[in-house]
Structure 1
Amino acid sequence: MLAQRSVALLRTPLSRNASSIAQKYSKAAYQAALAKSPATLTKVHGELTAIASAIKATPELSSFVANPTLSAADRQAGLPAVYKAAGATVSDVTKNLLQVLSENGRLGETEGVIEDFGSLVSKYKGELEVTVTSASPLPKDVQTKLEAALKQSQTAQQAKSVKVTNKVNPSVLGGLVVDFGDKTVDLSVQSRVTKLNALLQESV
């Protein structure tokens, strides 16, 4: 039932509130990489993915990019550690992206920029990324049924391939939040409560 409902809502999705700042930087980096060559785009994507993984796995890196109080000199001094996470040889596009984020005091947007960059690459390749966020990991049988239902949606059938990922966020109270492409379908209890509160306030 839940999977069927998800597919039905995919036909009339809500717009996702993405960070306009992250989109600005990710789009610029994407265009710069693709202008060089598809191979460069693939390399930059791999480097940024590695950096995102390192930030999540390394407290020092996570603190570095998230600390808004660092001076310009401190940010500049810390960038080599971020480059190192990308591999032995780092492309100019990746270096320039991080350099600009650092100079503009936007290192805190790094993970959002990388996530948006990945979405742009997926779109370029004809892939559809579907992220299903739930309060706890979905049971394997439920996730399998949900994936099958999602892949039958009109949006998914227009893509060359579909990748479904389950993310866990305890703040999602019951139900699911489904992100696909640049759209979001919120099936959570929290969403319904928020909408109810809004309606109640309008009626006062």
Structure 2
Amino acid sequence: MLSSVLRTSAASSSLGRRAASTIALKYSNALYSAALAKSPQVLNKVQTELAAISKSINETPDLKAFISNPTLSANDRATGLATVFSKAEGAGAKKEPVSDITKNLFAVLSENGRLGEAPGVIEGFNELVSKYRGELEVVVTSAAPLPKDASAKLEAILKQSQAAQQAKTVKVTNKVNPSVLGGIVVDFGDKSIDLSVSSRVNKLNNILQQSV
């Protein structure tokens, strides 16, 4: 069922590069619907598997190169996916086979030449699961990992916000992106607070260019 939904969604959308986020969202929605239709337990299992897969890809240069290479043959893609699933199976406390839903997702992404969309698909899926659970996911992006005390203070402040008070739980994630230079960027729901140094530098550049 998931395979047919994914194929239909991908075929009905524009495949231009600028529509990449839209394509990823279609896969995310199809995956979420298929997993939840099975049971909340399956939804949890799929999320756990995707977290393990995402971690493996981020920490393994060969897997990251594999995911981002659209020119591989069908055999090479099959071999690469087998490695991805193997690492996901071994990531848990007890080794369990990866679910058919997760395997079908990557099989269809591979078939459609869309393995590079996997990170966006996983991110979109996690957002849908968070909404289902009544969670508010707050992503704090910084140039370097935040110190524990700073992270704790920031989390306490965020939990006092109106948006957080309307949620059952608040989940704060710290992402590292050296391009922000310093400061932080806070994303939650449909809002974004940019307190980064890079943002200030860009504003200064714009002012200087206008004054020339």
TM-score after normalising by structure 2: 0.79
Which of 43, 47, 62 is the aligned partner of 2:49? 47
Distance in 1 (CA, whole Å) between partners of 2:190 and 2:44 is 21
Identity of aligned residues (%): 70
TM-superposition CA deviations, 1:98-124 (whole Å, max 9, x none): 011101111112122112211211111
Which of 129, 132, 138 is the aligned partner of 2:140? 132
What runs of 5+ residues in structure 2 fail to find an aligned partner? 1-19, 90-95
| Offset of residue 203 of structure 1 | 8.2
Q: How many residues are matched?
A: 187
Higher mean C-alpha deviation, range 76-85 or range 122-131:
76-85
Instruction: Confirm or deny that 1:118 pairs with 2:126.
Output: yes
Do the aligned partners of residues 197 and 20 (structure 1) sit closer, same or farther apart at CA in structure 2, a change above 3 Å counting?
farther
Q: Which residue of 1 aligns with 2:67?
A: 65
Q: Which residue of 2 aligns with 1:7?
A: none
Q: Which residue of 2 aligns with 1:86?
A: 88
CA RMSD of aligned residues (A): 2.2
What runs of 5+ residues in structure 1 fail to find an aligned partner? 1-17
Tell me the SS of whatever aligns to 2:164: helix
Equivalent position amino acid for 2:81 in 1: L
CA contact 1:119–1:181 (8 Å) conserved in 2: no
Distance in 1 (CA, whole Å) between partners of 2:108 and 2:125 is 15
Q: Which residue of 2 aligns with 1:167?
A: 175
Distance in 2 (CA, whole Å) between partners of 1:202 and 1:31 is 49
TM-superposition CA deviations, 1:1-53 (whole Å, max 9, x none): xxxxxxxxxxxxxxxxx922221211110111111111111111111111111
Q: Which residue of 1 aligns with 2:113?
A: 105
Instruction: Confirm or deny that 1:143 pairs with 2:151.
Output: yes
Instruction: Confirm or deny that 1:26 pairs with 2:28.
Output: yes
TM-score after normalising by structure 1: 0.82
Tell me the SS of whatever aligns to 2:193: strand
Distance in 1 (CA, whole Å) between partners of 2:141 and 2:189 is 14
| Offset of residue 63 of structure 1 | 1.8
Q: Which residue of 2 aligns with 1:10?
A: none
Higher mean C-alpha deviation, range 45-54 or range 132-141:
132-141
